[in-house]
Each structure stands twice: as C-alpha cells, then as structure tokens.
Structure 1
Amino acid sequence: MQRVCFRLQVRKEMMDEYVVRHASVWPEMLNALSETGWHNYSLHLDRSDGTLIGYFETPSLKDAKAGMEKREINAKWQADMAPFFVALDGKRPDEGFLQLEEVFYLK
C-alpha cells in the first residue's frame, strides 16, 4: 500500500467555507474516491496560514488518479474546489498538489 502525503495552500479568506464544504462532501464523490483506491484519506488545515496537508493510502497513486480522471463527479468537485487554492498554475487541485517525500514510517 502506497502512503501519499501532499500539501496545498487554501486562501486565508476562504478557510471557513473550505471546512464547511468538507463537512458534507458529496456522496458521489466519496463513493468515487473509495471505488478508485483512495483509502484512509484525511485533510489537516493550519488555520494560521492556510496550509493544507492531505494523507491517503492507495495500492497505486497512478491508478487512483487515473480512476478519478474518468469520473464526471471528480471534474465537478475539482472545479468547485479550485477557487479555494492559491498557486495551482492553472491545474486542478488534484493535479496541482505538492506530493511530500516520506522520510520515516513507524509500523
């Protein structure tokens, strides 16, 4: 199982709304994530500066991303979430996150 950790930057003025949106993620989006191999998915927000850290486990990041790419609900969710982030350089949030290197893991 591949462990994936990533970082994005939420706009400070949009942090509260970002949290609200994630309190009720669309059921179709949740199903799509589960069905395409995104497991133990969590997001952590530093409200002091908008740093968002995400973590999930997947058999294959490449396959998980490719699976979501085929889902219409993902395109809608990414378009809805894109305004919340800075520095995406025209990419969708699921394409523009910075994947962090794992340097230690305690089983």
Structure 2
Amino acid sequence: MKRIAFKMFLNEGCKEEYIKRHDEIWPELVILLNESGVLDYSIFLDEETNVLFGILKCNNELAYENLPLHPIMQNWWKHMKDIMQTNADNSPKSIKLEEVFYLQ
C-alpha cells in the first residue's frame, strides 16, 4: 500500500468554510474515493501559512491517478474553487511531498 502526501493552499479566512464543506462531504465522493483505493485520508491545516497538508493510503494507484477524470471529482473541485488556490481545470493547486522518514 502506497502512502501519498501533498500540500494545497487555502485562501485566507476560509478555514471555517473548508471545515464545513468537508463535514458535509458528498456521499458519492466518499464512495468514489473508497472505490479508487483511497484509505485513511487526513488533511491538516497550518494556520500560520494557510497551507493544507494531505496524507492518504492508496491500494490502487492507477484508480487514484484517474480520479481527476471522474465527473464527481471535477464537481467537487468546482464546489471548492472559491476557497482554495486552483488550476485552470478547477483542481486544487497541489505539490506532492516526498516521504523522507516513516516510523511504524
């Protein structure tokens, strides 16, 4: 199982709305993520910089990499684009993070 980490960028003043939207995450998105092999997914916020840190486990890398093609994922991005920095396709601007240490 692969561990994947990345960072994204929340717009200033949007913490509460970001939390609210994730508290109300769409059931169909949860199903899609689960069906795509995404497990144990967490997002942390560094309030000093408004940087979001995501970490997840994935047991199907191909399905995970195809998530951006799915309409549910694309609609979620549209739903979130007003509170995050995004790319032209509405996906969140994100940077993959390299794992340099892991203690089991």
SS in 2 for 1:13: coil
- The aligned counterpart of 1:73 is 72
* Alignment coverage as a number of residue pairs: 103
For structure 1, the 5+ residue unaligned runs are none
TM-score by length of 2: 0.87
Identity across the alignment (%): 29
- The aligned counterpart of 2:57 is 57
SS in 2 for 1:48: coil
Greater than 4 Å deviation, 4+ residue runs:
none
Distance in 2, matches of 1:103 and 1:49, equals 22
Deviation at 1:10, TM superposition (A): 0.2
Distance in 2, matches of 1:11 and 1:62, equals 30
Distance in 1, matches of 2:49 and 2:69, equals 33
Deviation at 1:62, TM superposition (A): 4.0
Distance in 2, matches of 1:34 and 1:11, equals 28
For structure 2, the 5+ residue unaligned runs are none
- The aligned counterpart of 1:32 is 32
Distance in 1, matches of 2:62 and 2:4, equals 11
- The aligned counterpart of 2:3 is 3
RMSD: 1.6
Distance of aligned partners of 1:76 and 1:27 in 2 relative to their CA distance in 1, 3 Å threshold: same
2:99 is equivalent to residue 102 of structure 1: yes
SS in 2 for 1:84: coil
Residues 41-50 or 24-33, more deviating:
41-50
Deviation at 1:34, TM superposition (A): 0.4
CA displacement 1:1-25 (0-9 Å, x = unmatched): 1100100110112121111111110
TM-score by length of 1: 0.85
Q: Is the 8 A contact 2:43 2:54 kept in 1?
A: yes
CA displacement 1:49-92 (0-9 Å, x = unmatched): 211000001124443121x2343211110111122222x34241
Deviation at 1:97, TM superposition (A): 1.2
